[in-house]
Amino acid sequence: MTQTNPNWWREAIIYQVYPRSYLDTNGDGVGDLAGITEKLDYIASLGVDIVWLSPFFKSPMKDFGYDIADYCDVDPLFGTLADFDRLVARAHSLGLKIMIDQVMSHTADTHPWFVESRSSRENPKSDWYVWADPLPDGNPPNNWLSVFGGSAWQWDTRRKQYYMHNFLVSQPQLNFHNPEVQQAHLDAQRFWLERGVDGVRMDACVFHFHDRQLRSNPPALVRDTSTVTDVNPYGMQAHIYDKTQPENIAFLQRVRAQLNEFGAVSIGEVSSDDALEQMAEYTEGGDKLHMAYSFNLLTPVFTAAHIRKQVEEFNERVKDGWASWSVGNHDAIRVMTRWGGSNPTPALGKLVLAMQLSLKGTPCLYQGDELALVEADVPYELLQDPYGITFWPEFKGRDGCRTPMPWTGEAPNGGFTTGKPWLPVAEPHLAANVEQQDKDPQSMLNFQRRFIAWRRSMPQLTRGEIDFFDAPEPVLALRRHAEGMDSVLAAFNLSDREVSFDWPETAGASVLDTHGLQGDAKGGKVTLPPYGAWFGSVASR
C-alpha cells in the first residue's frame, strides 16, 4: 500500500486510541500524548495503518474532550503542541498515519465563541450558535431532545433565549447556517493538516445543521435502539428536523476539497434513523467523506442475518461510496461482552476479528480489543461518564469500555500509571495484559498480528467485491472476489456450538490458512466448531 494508490485508505486498517486511557507518563492518572508516542512501536507491530486519536484539544472535560474549548491547541492534561508534533513525526517514521477527531457540531460552553455569543443578541458572534425565543408560555421552541437526556434546549438568562444542545447542556450547538462558522472550522482543520495530520474523523457529522424553521420531530414509527438504549426517550422521535439536513452535503464537499489539498482522508460517524442511507449519501461521488461508519454493528445483535443485511444494504444503496465497519469503540460496550455475554471465550475475539476483516470496507479497531478485553464493571461511585450517571442503573454509560490499557501484570495499575488512574484498571484485564499476550503465540494479540499480515497479502479481502451465500444461522458465509484472481470463500460460526451445512461451492476448494481458527470443508459440506471459521480459494467463474 503506497501513496501512489489514490484509494490506499480502502485497503487500510484504522486503530482507535482513546488518549486518556492509553499510557500515562507523568503520573497524574490520565493518559497523554507522550504515552501514545511511547507505544507507537506497539501499534505498528499490530500491522495497522491509521491511528485515530480521540480528542486531545483544550477542554473543560465535562464530556472528556468531546467538549472543545480551543480547536487549535492541546489540553495541558495531554501535553503540548510540541508533544503532538513529536507524535506525528514518530508515527510517520514508522509508516503510520495520524487521524484526529474533529468535533464540529458543538463546542464547550467555555469556548470564547460561545462566551461572546451568549453575552448579547447583537455581538459579532451572536448568530454562531442556535438560539431561539421561547414559546408564549415560556416553553422551548419545539420538542427536540438531547441524546444525553431531557430537552435539547437550555434557557440562558443573558439573552433571555434558549440555546440548543444535542448532548450535554454544556455543549451548545453551533449554527452551521452561518458561513462564518463553517469557515472557522475549515481554518481549524487547516491548522492541523499543516502540522502533518493525515486524516480526520468527523464526530457526530449528521448533527451539523438543523431545520431553520425549528419544526418539531414526529414520533418514531420504529424506535431507534442502535444509537441509544431503550431507557432513553431520544429513540422515541423520528429525527428528521434536528439533524441530517440537506445543507450538510455542501459543507462536507468543502471539507473534502480541503482534505484533497493535503492528500488527507476522512471518516464520518453516522448516527441517524437510517444510518445506511446516510452513510451512502455522505460517501458517494468521491467529493464528500472518504468513508463512514454507523452504530449498526455496535449493537447487541450478533446474528449472521444482521451483519449480512448491513453490508448488503449499504452496497445496494451506493456503488462508489465506502463503508468502515466497526464492532468496537469508545461509545459501545466492549464487543467481547456485548456479543459474548458475561463470560466470553477468547475464541470469540478471534472469530469476530476474522469476520470483521473479511467484510468489504475499511476496518476500524478499538484499543484493547486486540487483547479481547471484556467490558469493565465500574461501580456507580467511580463512574465518570455523565451519560451513564444520568441513566444509571439500567444504562451504566461508556466508562466500562474506556478503562486503562493493561500493559503488564507486574506493575501497579497494569503499567498504565504510577498514580491513581482516572478510571480503575479492571481486574479481569490484568490477566490479559500486553506483556503476557506478547509471549503467548496462541494469544489474541498474536492472532491479530498474524491475521492482519495475512489479510494484507490477500487483495481479494482488501479491495475485492463481496457476495453472501444462504447458510443456516448462525453461519455467515461469503465470497470475496477481484478481477483476474481466484475467489476467497469464508464461513464464520457466530455461536458456541458446532454447525455443519452444505455449501456446494466449496467442493474442490483449496484450503487457506485460518491462523488457528478451526473449520473443515469436504465434499461440499462445511463443519465449523464453536466460533470456528474456514477460508478456501476457488477459481473465479
Given the residues 137, 194, 261, 483, select the one marked as catalytic: 261
Q: Write out the three cell numbers for 428.
A: 479481569
Q: Indicate if 520 belongs to the active site.
A: no
- Contact of 440 with 448, CB cutoff 8 Å: no
Residue 2 pLDDT: 45
Please give the distance of CA 503 from its chain centroid, rounded to a whole number. Answer: 34
Given the residues 49, 203, 331, 385, select the one marked as catalytic: 203
CATH homologous superfamily of 8-105+177-209+245-455 equals Glycosidases (3.20.20.80)
The CA distance from 468 to 451, in Å, is 21
Residue 514 pLDDT: 84
Q: Which residue positions in the chain have pLDDT lower than 50?
A: 1-2
Q: Under 8 Å CB-to-CB from 283, ≥6 apart: which residues? A: 268, 289, 290, 291, 292, 318, 321, 322, 323
Q: Indicate if 203 belongs to the active site.
A: yes
Q: Write out the three cell numbers for 3.
A: 501513496
| Domain 8-105+177-209+245-455 shares a fold with domain 461-538 | no
Residue 222 pLDDT: 80
Q: Please say whether the structural domain 461-538 has been given the CATH code 3.40.190.290.
A: no
Q: Where are the domains of the chain?
A: 8-105+177-209+245-455, 461-538
Residue 3 pLDDT: 57
The predicted model scores a pTM of: 0.97
Residue 1 pLDDT: 46
Query: Secondary structure of the chain: what % helix, strand, coil (to 5)?
Result: 30, 20, 50
